[in-house]
Structure 1
Amino acid sequence: MHETRVRTTAPEPAVTAPHDRPGGPLPWLTAVGLAFLVLQLVVVVPGSGLAWDETVYVSQAGGNAPPAFFSAPRARGISYLVAPVAALTASTAVLRIYLALLSAGALVAALYVWRKVLPTPVLVCAGAFFAGLWPTLFYGSAAMPNPWCALGALAATGWVARPVRDGAAGRREAVGAGAAVAIVALMRPADGFWLALPLVLAVVVVPGRRRPGVGAALVAGLVAGCAPWTAEAYARYGGLGARLHRAGEIQGGLGWNIAVDDHLRALAGRTLCRPCDIGWESPGTALWLTVLPVLVVVGVVVARRSGRGAVVLLAALTGLSMAVPYLFLVGYAAPRFLLPAYALLSVPLAECLVHLFMRARHARRPGGVALLALVLAAHLTAQFLVVSHVVRVSRATTARFTAMAGALNRSGVKPPCVVSGADAVPIAYYAGCASRQTAGHDASTTPAALREAARHVPTAVLVAPGEAPPAWAGDRRTVPLPPGNGAASYRGYVLPVVAPDGTGQARRPR
C-alpha cells in the first residue's frame, strides 16, 4: 500500500493593516504633519508676501485690492479656499498660517486614507519624502492650487486602492474617491481629468477588479468639480471650446513639448521657467529626480512580493498620468506643476526605501532604520538649502513690489485707483488698486477706457526698464519708483485728467 502525500501550497501572507496594531499609524502621521507645519511656519511664512498668481486668486475673495483679471486657464477653487480669511483680513501672515495649518492637516488625512492597504513605515516614509520636497514646503502655505491637487490626488488614489486590494467597495470608498477628485478638478480641471483617467480605468476596465460604483463616483466628482469652470466658460467666453482654446493660447499652445529637461533645471530654485533657456545652475538639485523612476520601479516590484503590488502600481501609474501633461504637453516648467505626481510617486518610492533599509534579508532592523533616517536627512538638507534660496528671492521680490506700491501711494495713486503696465498685477494689489491691462494674457481694457478712468480715479502706467511709455498715455506725470535690490528702476506715469474741453492736467498728490 502506497502512502499518498498531499502537497499543499502555503497561502500568500496577508497584508497586516496598520490600524490593527496598537496605536495605528495616526501618531506617526501626526508627527509628520507637525514637522511639515513647523518647517513652513519657521522657514517660509515669516516675511513672505503674495506672489503674482496669489494676488489674482486672493483678490477674488477680498484681500487688499479689487479683483484682478481672471484669465481663461485659472479655476476658482483656491479663491474659495482662502475666502474665509481673505474676506476678513488683508494680512498675508494670517493667510499663510491658515493655509499652513490646512495643508499640514490635509497631508495627515490624505496619508491616513491609505492605512488599510499600506503599513505604517511606508506611510511615514512617503509622507516625509513628499513633505520634505522644497516645492511642497514653499507652496504648502501659498494661495496656489497645486499642493491641493497633490493632496487631493493622494487621497483619491488611496480611496480607490482600498477596493482594488479588498475586492469590495463600500459607499465610503466611492464617496471619498469622488469627493477627492471633485476637489482636484475644482482647483485645476485639467489635473482632475488626468487624475480620474487612470483611476476610472482601474475600476472599470481591469478584469477582476471592476467596481462600476466607484467608477461612477469618480466621473461624478470630475463633472462636479469642473462645473464652475464650465459654467463660467459659457458665461464669459462663449462656450467650453472657446475657453479651452483661449487657455491653450495663454499656456503657449498645448502639444508635443518635451519639457523633462526644463523641470530638471527648474529644481535648482526656479519657481517658473518660461522660457527655460537657462543653464544647469546646480545639477545636484535634480539628482533625486533622475533616480526616482528607478526607485519607483523597484518599489512596485518589492510591493508585489509583499502582496501590495496592485495598490502601489496604481499609485505609480496615477502619478505618471498626472506628470504626462507637464512633461510632454506644456512647453515650460514650474516645479509646482509636478506636486501631484510627486505625492503619488512617494508611495512606491517609500516601498523601495523601506524594503532596502528595513526588510532586506540581511539587514538588521535598527541599523536599517538608522540608514533610512540618514538618507532622509540628506534629502531634507538638500531640499532645505534650495527652499531657503527660493524664500530669499521671494522676499526680495515682495520688498521691491511693496516699495513701488508705496511710491505710487505717496504720489497720489491711492485707493480707489487703477494700475496698468509691467508687473501691474502684484504691484496694484500691494497699492490697493485695481489692475487693468491693455494687451497680453490679462488684457481686460483699452487705452481709451484707461484715459476715461483717469477722469474719476488716480490711474498709473508702469513701464519696465528700457521700454518707452505708451504713446496713448498723453501728457503724463512721472512717478519716481525705487529700484529695489539693485534692479534697474521701473518708471511710473500718472495719466492726465482730461477735462471736458479736451485739456488735461495730471493728478497731484492728495
Structure 2
Amino acid sequence: MMTIESPDTPSARSGAYPPARTRRISGRKAWPAAVAAAFVAAQLVLVRPGIGLGWDETVYVSQVSGHAPAAYFSAPRARGVSLLVAPIASWSSSTPLLRVYLSLLSGLALYLALRSWRGLLPTRVVALGGALFASLWVTLFYGPEAMPNYWVATGGLAAVGCFLRAQADRTPRGPVWGLAASAALMAWMRPTDAVWVTLPLMAALVVVRRWRHKWLLIALVAGLVAGAAEWVIEAYVSYGGLGSRLSDASRIQGELRWNNAIDDQLRSLSGRTLCRPCTGGMPHPVVFAWWFAVPVLALAGLPAAVRARRASLTVLPLACAATAAVPYLLFIGYAAPRFLLPAYALLAIPVADTLVLLVTRARGVWRPLTVTVVVVGLAAHLAVQGAVLWRLVDRTTASRQGWARTADALHRHGVRPPCVLTGNNGEAPHIPIAFYAGCASAQTGGADTNTTASALARAARRTPVAVLTTHGSRPPAYARTWRLVHLDGQVYAYLSPVARDAEAAAPGAGRQSPTTLPQGARTGVR
C-alpha cells in the first residue's frame, strides 16, 4: 500500500520542504479558492463577456438554442458542451450572460480540481500550480468559451489528484467518487481525450501491485463508460456504428496517422486559435519559450520527489500529461493551442513543485538570487501571455462582429428565419453566420455534408436561401440565376427568389438604398 504523508506533518517537512517558522495552515487552505476567484475575474476583464460566439461554439450552442436551428454535428464532437450551456442557451440568446455563466463554472471547476490535491502537497504548491495554469492565455481565452478542452483539462487534473489521494488512504469514499466524476466529465466532453488522459491511471491500477485497488478501477471504468455512453449510443443511431464514427472522426481530422505537429503547435502559440493549414513563419522565441521551459521544470523536480519518497506525485501527472499530448503532437496534421490544455493543467503541479523547491531550499547568497530569477521569470511569462491574449481578443472580437454585420445584412435582404445558408466555408464561414442570422446551415460537400444540391434547390422554392461566397467566385449550378448582393467586407451572397420577394415585401424596403457592388461582381451570374 502506498502512503503519502501530509505535507504539513513533521515527517513530510523533513523530506523535500524545510520547516516554516510560522505556518498559517487555515489561511493557506483558502489559496486555491483565491486562485479560482482571480481566474474568474481575469476572464471577465480580459476576455470581454460581449465577445461573440466562435465557429465551433455556434455548433455546440445551436444544439440546445432556441435562437437558430441545430447545425450539423460531425462525428468527432460530443454533446457535453451543449448540455453544459443548456441552462442558459435554451432560453436566452445573450452571449454576455453565457460568458459570465461559463466563467463562473470554469472557476468552480478549477477550484475543485485543485482541492482534489489537498493533503498531497503543500497548499502553496497546489495554489501556484493552479495560478500557472490559469494564467496561460489559452486557459483564459477558453475558460469562458463553449468548448470542451478546458473541461477535459480540469477533469484530468482532478482525476489524478483523486487517484493519488485514494491510494494514500484507502478508507475515504470521497476520492473514489471524485475519480469517477472526473472521468465522466472528461468522457462527457471528449471521449477519446478521456481515454488518452487516463491511460497511465489504468496502467498503474493493473500493472503496479501496490496500487491495485478494486474500487478505484471500478470507479475509473464506470466514470468513462457513463460519460461516453451517449456518444457511443449516438454512434449506432446516427453514424453507422462505433467503428464508423471513429473512422469518420479520423477522416474529418485529416486522417489520424503518424505526423509530427510540434512545429504547428509552436506556430499556433502566437494566438492562432486554429492552425489548419499551419503555414507561415515561427513566432518570436519569446512567445513560445515557456512551452519548452514547462516540461524541463516539471522533470527537474523529480529527483527531489524521489528522495522525499513522493515520486508518484510527479511521475503520474507527468505520464498523464504525456499521453494527453501524444495524439495532438504526433498523430494529427494541424494544431490548435486548446488541444494541449489537459497536458498544461497536469504539468502545472510538478512545475509549481519545482519552483517552490528552488526558492525554499536555496541558502545564503543564492536565496535572493534564486527568488529574483523566479520572480522575474514569472513576471516575463505573465507579460507574454497577456500580450498574446490582448491581441487575440481584439482580432477575434473584430472577426465575430463581422459575422454579426453579415447576418444583419442578410436580414435586410430578406433572408430571415426560417432560412437556409450554404456555401464554401473556405471562402465565407456560413455555419457561424447562419447561427448569427437564425438560419439553418447546409453543406453539400466536405466534412460537414448534411444535404444535397438538389435538396437545396427544392428548399429555395419555398424558403429564403443564400449562398455565401466571395467576389468573383462562381455560384453552384442551382444558384446561377439568383441575384448577387454584397453583404460585408469580402462576403457576398446569391439570394434565392423567395429572399428577393421577402426583401421587397419588408416594411420600408422601398426606402432602402440599392446595394453597391464592385465592378465585375456579377461575372459569375448566368
Q: Same fold (TM over 0.5)?
A: yes
Q: Could you list the runs of 5+ residues in structure 2 that have no partner in the other structure?
A: 1-9, 507-526
Residue 144 (structure 1) aligned to one of 144, 147, 150:
147
Query: Residue 76 in 1 paired to residue 79 in 2?
Result: yes
Tell me which residue corresponds to 1:502.
none
Tell me which residue corresponds to 1:135.
138
Residue 96 (structure 2) aligned to one of 80, 93, 100:
93
SS class of match (2:30): helix
SS class of match (2:117): helix
Residue 404 (structure 1) aligned to one of 406, 414, 418:
406
Query: Residue 308 in 1 paired to residue 310 in 2?
Result: yes
SS class of match (2:184): helix
CA shift for structure 1 position 366:
7.8
Tell me which residue corresponds to 2:361.
359
CA shift for structure 1 position 380:
1.1
Alpha-carbon distance in structure 1 between the residues aligned to 2:258 and 2:90: 41
Write the deviation string for residues 407-433 of structure 1: whole angstroms up to 9, x where unpaired: 100000011111111311110111111
Does the Cα contact within 8 Å between 1:300 and 1:309 map onto a contact in 2? yes
Does the Cα contact within 8 Å between 1:24 and 1:120 map onto a contact in 2? no
Tell me which residue corresponds to 2:432.
426
Does the Cα contact within 8 Å between 1:196 and 1:219 map onto a contact in 2? no
Query: Residue 464 in 1 paired to residue 465 in 2?
Result: no
CA shift for structure 1 position 204:
2.5
SS class of match (1:461): strand
CA shift for structure 1 position 466:
4.4
Tell me which residue corresponds to 2:35.
32
Does the Cα contact within 8 Å between 1:64 and 1:90 map onto a contact in 2? yes
Does the Cα contact within 8 Å between 1:474 and 1:495 map onto a contact in 2? no
Alpha-carbon distance in structure 1 between the residues aligned to 2:205 and 2:375: 36
SS class of match (1:481): strand
Tell me which residue corresponds to 2:333.
331
Q: For this pair of structures, how many residues does the alignment match? A: 488
Alpha-carbon distance in structure 1 between the residues aligned to 2:434 and 2:306: 55
Tell me which residue corresponds to 2:517.
none
CA shift for structure 1 position 264:
1.1
**Would the alpha carbon gap of residues 55 and 294 (structure 1) be closer, same or farther in structure 2, given more than 3 Å must change?**
same
**Would the alpha carbon gap of residues 61 and 26 (structure 1) be closer, same or farther in structure 2, given more than 3 Å must change?**
farther
Tell me which residue corresponds to 1:185.
187
Report the AA paired with residue 46 of structure 2. Answer: V
Alpha-carbon distance in structure 2 between the residues aligned to 1:138 and 1:184: 19
Does the Cα contact within 8 Å between 1:132 and 1:383 map onto a contact in 2? yes
Tell me which residue corresponds to 1:104.
107
CA shift for structure 1 position 372:
3.7
CA shift for structure 1 position 467:
2.2
Write the deviation string for residues 84-105 of structure 1: whole angstroms up to 9, x where unpaired: 0001200000000000011011
Tell me which residue corresponds to 1:476.
482
Residue 43 (structure 1) aligned to one of 46, 60, 76:
46
SS class of match (1:208): helix
Residue 345 (structure 1) aligned to one of 342, 347, 354:
347
Does the Cα contact within 8 Å between 2:16 and 2:307 map onto a contact in 1? no
Of 123-132 and 334-343, deviating more is: 123-132
Alpha-carbon distance in structure 2 between the residues aligned to 1:129 and 1:63: 38
SS class of match (1:98): helix
Write the deviation string for residues 92-133 of structure 1: whole angstroms up to 9, x where unpaired: 000000000110111111101101101112112101110000
CA shift for structure 1 position 506:
6.0
SS class of match (2:197): helix
SS class of match (2:467): strand
**Would the alpha carbon gap of residues 363 and 324 (structure 1) be closer, same or farther in structure 2, given more than 3 Å must change?**
farther
Alpha-carbon distance in structure 1 between the residues aligned to 2:203 and 2:174: 20
Alpha-carbon distance in structure 1 between the residues aligned to 2:171 and 2:233: 32
Report the AA paired with residue 467 of structure 1. Answer: S
Tell me which residue corresponds to 2:448.
442
Alpha-carbon distance in structure 2 between the residues aligned to 1:361 and 1:298: 19
Of 287-296 and 88-97, deviating more is: 287-296
Tell me which residue corresponds to 2:212.
210
Relative to the length of structure 2, the TM-score reads 0.88
CA shift for structure 1 position 448:
1.4
CA shift for structure 1 position 168:
2.5
Alpha-carbon distance in structure 2 between the residues aligned to 1:152 and 1:262: 26
Report the AA paired with residue 279 of structure 2. Answer: D
**Would the alpha carbon gap of residues 11 and 99 (structure 1) be closer, same or farther in structure 2, given more than 3 Å must change?**
closer
Alpha-carbon distance in structure 2 between the residues aligned to 1:144 and 1:260: 22
Write the deviation string for residues 64-93 of structure 1: whole angstroms up to 9, x where unpaired: 311111001100000000000001200000
Report the AA paired with residue 335 of structure 2. Answer: A
Query: Residue 453 in 1 paired to residue 459 in 2?
Result: yes
Alpha-carbon distance in structure 2 between the residues aligned to 1:492 and 1:283: 42
SS class of match (1:114): coil
Of 363-372 and 345-354, deviating more is: 363-372
